Amino acid sequence: WPLYKQSFGHTLINIDFESIYPGAGDLFFERWSHLAPKIINLMTTNVKDGNSKELLKQITENPDIELDIRNVVIFALLSSMIIPTSKSIEIDKVTKVKRIIKTSIADARKSFMRLVPTTNDLYVQIQNEIDNCYSMKTTLQPLICVVGDDYITAKQSIV
């Protein structure tokens, strides 16, 4: 399946999905307005992290928050609801000692979402991530990039 790794791979996946499940491509977007409140209710019982609870409290106590901001916060909190269990081995470059590193909630969130104060910082972080992936011989996956001081006051979100 090497063609899926090409820059147009997502288009091939969409074509395959549409041929297997005709008409189902937009169901997620169509049903999101009904699904989002249910996810928030689940989060009120399942989110245990203190910072994430505070963020959740901000969107549940303020019904006037813009829909886009609410959606960004929901996606940011998914990593708090689905607690990461993965572990990786890191080798110290100087001492050559192996350490087992457990993925934190912040690491899990950072793997699919970036919060940066300005657009210029976004370009710098993306370039750093590209360089890091290149050095590790891995591919860079799509990220949700949020520009703002925090998720509640975000000015822009970009994929």
Q: Quick count: other Cβ atoms within 10 Å of Cβ 96? A: 7
Convert the pLDDT of each residue in 48-87 to its tens digit: 888 889 989 998 888 888 888 899 999 888 888 877 778 8
Q: What mean pLDDT is predicted for residues 132-136? A: 85
For residues 146 and 126, the answer to whether their CB atoms sit within 8 Å is: no
Q: Write down the domain spans for the chain.
A: 9-109, 112-159
Residue with tokens 């689905």: 82
Interatomic CA distance for residues 13 and 5, integer angstroms: 11
Burial zone of 137 (CB within 10 Å; 0-12 exposed, 13-18 middle, 19+ buried): exposed
Tokens of 128: 């750093």
Q: What is the pTM of this model?
A: 0.75
Give the SS3 label for residue 81: helix
pLDDT digits (tens, 9 = 90+) for 103-123: 888 887 888 888 899 988 888
Tell me the CA end-to-end span of the chain in Å, nearest whole number. 24
Residue 2 pLDDT more than 80? Answer: no
Strands 144-147 and 87-91: unpaired
Q: What is the pLDDT of residue 34?
A: 92
pLDDT tops 70 at residue 1: no
Mean pLDDT across the chain: 86
